[in-house]
Chain A
Amino acid sequence: MKAFTTLNGLVCPLDRANVDTDAIIPKQFLKSIKRSGFGPYLFDEWRYTNYGEPGMDCSTRPLNPDFVLNQPRYQGAQVLLARDNFGCGSSREHAPWAIEDQGFRVIIAPSFADIFFNNCYKNGILPIVASAEQVDTLFKECFANEGYKLNVDLEAQTVTTPSGQSFSFDITPTRKHNLLNGLDEIGLTLQHADKIKAFEEKHQAAQPWLFA
């Protein structure tokens, strides 16, 4: 996994609540057996005016000029600003794969759906929960100021606006450590292999039918 330490990144404001993972990456792209290459299909049905198919060359597809990701001022954005319940619905990890592939490393929203939130950490994306008022302020500032960037410091757990206003965010120490160091979670878990084996033996003795 890619490590995440600090980022000073352009912000793209996606002003919608309940953005679901079907919208983030529509089902036809889930047929891929690869982990990469989903970026051009991110928000496909909102981003393009024609129907996207896997393998399509997106550079020649008609863009929806009203969609925020297509506006010139947000090109190269690395921070996605969103509303409540971002990433709800399907568990598809293709959603964070597409977001990461597009170049985003941070998502800020008042709330996230659980599975999506988890999936972000597995892919070097930092999802930040901020208060609804805080998010509202960021939206307003972002709309008002072209080139609006946020500075995100994972070690310090802070987000700083261009005017120097700062707020802190929560993250569990385990997730923070893994993200700062880009650690392979499976490798870490396998350090506990003896404990897993011991648990399994005890579990099997108590409920042998689970192992039939």
Chain B
Amino acid sequence: MAGKTLYDKLWESHVVHEEADGTCLIYIDRHLVHEVTSPQAFEGLRMAGRKPWRNSSIVANPDHNTPTKDWDKGIEDPISRLQVETLDNNIKEFGALVYFPFKNKDQGIIHVIGPENGTTLPGMTVVCGDSHTSTHGAFGALAHGIGTSEVEHVLATQTLVAKKSKSMLVRVDGKLGKGVTAKDVALAIIGKIGTAGGTGYAIEFGGEVIRGLSMEGRMTLCNMAIEAGARAGLVAPDEKTAAYLEGRLHAPKGDNWTKAVAYWNTLSSDADATFDTVVVLNGAEIAPQVTWGTSPEQVLPIGSTVPDPAKEADATKRTSIENALKYMGLTANTPIEQIQLDKIFIGSCTNSRIEDLRAAASVAKGKKVASNIKLAMVVPGSGQVKRQAEAEGLDKIFIEAGFEWREPGCSMCLAMNSDRLSPGERCASTSNRNFEGRQGPGGRTHLVSPEMAAAAAIAGHFVDVRSA
């Protein structure tokens, strides 16, 4: 019998019940909750007279609507405020293991606070009404984004109705060059397999490059698995995983720690496991990436030119390129390095952790944001990240260079609060989606790594951070 993949092991250890057609009830260990996708779920629970099955599985925190400056003024938009207050009230009524209300010192992006408080652990199933739940797969946890009906289902039953996905191994061999990051690896993978390449799959990331990534880097990579269409991304836990978790607030302690680590050591794909699909990349060939279009798959290495739709044979793809160029205000064959920028956003659940901020700061140190940049902002992922960055003096580096140093939250990744692009504005962003209107109606988003965003802020246009 063939060996098991990591995904097989995680799946099989959580099946509560299986129907004849393979539809399963999967037990959920951790339920992350934010204000946008939960109010209707709690309301449904209330209307049916139900209670959460296990409220100690819940880790909650508002993040999408919260402002990133002038916290003393509260949340000015009354609709946003009501949504955040609704979460406060729901948690008060139904309970949670962890709740950081707006302005709490540890509040942050849900996918940042989960891991940093040790509430995401290897071997867990983790869900959240948020597609970027795939982030937590970095720990060897099976982590899915779910819809609001499913949020209610998990609240009421501690299970999710699901069918097993196919398995894909994305192996990145060799070593990354200087200035090439987990974000570039993620974008290069999406460029290769497409935004639907992972649809129906759980992707395990393996190979020398992945083993070499820090936990922050692995989170960035798994975060972007959803942009490749996969609901889940996975990295097998190892000594880096344990080192990251040890001593964190809700990580196991004492005897439980020893037992947990012993169990986590079994969580990797067997040598003879087979995958439905295997994709291989050579890390040494990956250059810093920049998206030029309105889908994350519309990405190219820095040094390229914007594509020419006339050279595309497939009609649907040609139309997509034409639509994207029109929306992005770009002319075919323009060198990416000549694209001038208006705003810079460093943050989001993809790239707002301490390592991301250190990397961006190392590029910005002693330099100044270019005069054509109207706003360059750094939004740390959580209160903990912010304090750590300030203890290291990163805030001063950013402020001296001309960046704004903000309070934690999702911010201009999706522009639900007041941080947004104006129509036609062009942004180098460390977030995860360059969809039309994502960062504000008419806004134009180019996805890059923190280093590339910082280098672009200094130059005023894209540059190759390796020679910046």
Contact = CB atoms under 8 A, between A and B. Distances in A.
Interface in B334-354: none
A211 B436 CA distance: 42
B316 A83 contact: yes
Contact of B121 (A20, A54, A208, A210): A210
A186 B157 contact: yes
A19 B169 CA distance: 26
Interface string A82-115: 0111001111110010000000000000011111
B316 A209 contact: no
Contacts of B159: 189, 192, 196
Interface residues of A, number: 60
B20 A173 contact: yes
A156 interface: no
B56 to A, nearest CB: 7
A130 B321 CA distance: 24
B14 to A, nearest CB: 8
Interface string A185-212: 1100110110110011001000111111
Interface stretch (A3-11, A27-35, A140-148, A157-165): A27-35
B288 interface: no
Interface in B245-260: 250, 252, 256-257, 259-260
B366 interface: no
B323 to A, nearest CB: 7
B27 interface: yes
A33 to B, nearest CB: 4
A207 B260 contact: yes
A18 B153 contact: no
Contacts of A15: 319
Contact of A192 (B16, B37, B259, B415): B16
Contacts of B70: none
A193 to B, nearest CB: 8
A3 B83 CA distance: 30
A31 B22 CA distance: 36
B258 to A, nearest CB: 10
Contacts of B148: 35, 93
B147 A118 contact: yes
B234 to A, nearest CB: 15
Given A23-B437, A122-B150, A209-B121, A33 B83 contact: yes
Contacts of B65: 31
A86 B433 CA distance: 15
B105 interface: no
A31 B80 contact: yes
B156 A186 contact: yes
B16 A114 contact: no
Given A185-B149, A196-B53, A199-B27, 11 more contacts: A17-B317, A18-B297, A22-B437, A31-B36, A91-B129, A92-B37, A174-B19, A174-B161, A186-B48, A186-B153, A212-B250
Interface of B: 16-17, 19-23, 25, 27, 29, 36-37, 39-40, 43, 48, 50, 53-54, 56, 64-65, 77, 79-80, 82-83, 86, 121, 123-124, 129-131, 145-150, 152-153, 156-159, 161, 163, 165, 195-196, 199-200, 226-227, 229-231, 250, 252, 256-257, 259-260, 263, 295, 297, 316-317, 319-320, 323, 414-416, 433, 435-438, 441
5 contacts: A31-B36, A83-B316, A90-B130, A114-B231, A200-B54
Which 10 A-B pairs have CB atoms at the shortest separation, nearest pair first?
A209-B252, A122-B149, A93-B147, A33-B39, A119-B147, A85-B196, A93-B148, A91-B145, A174-B23, A91-B131
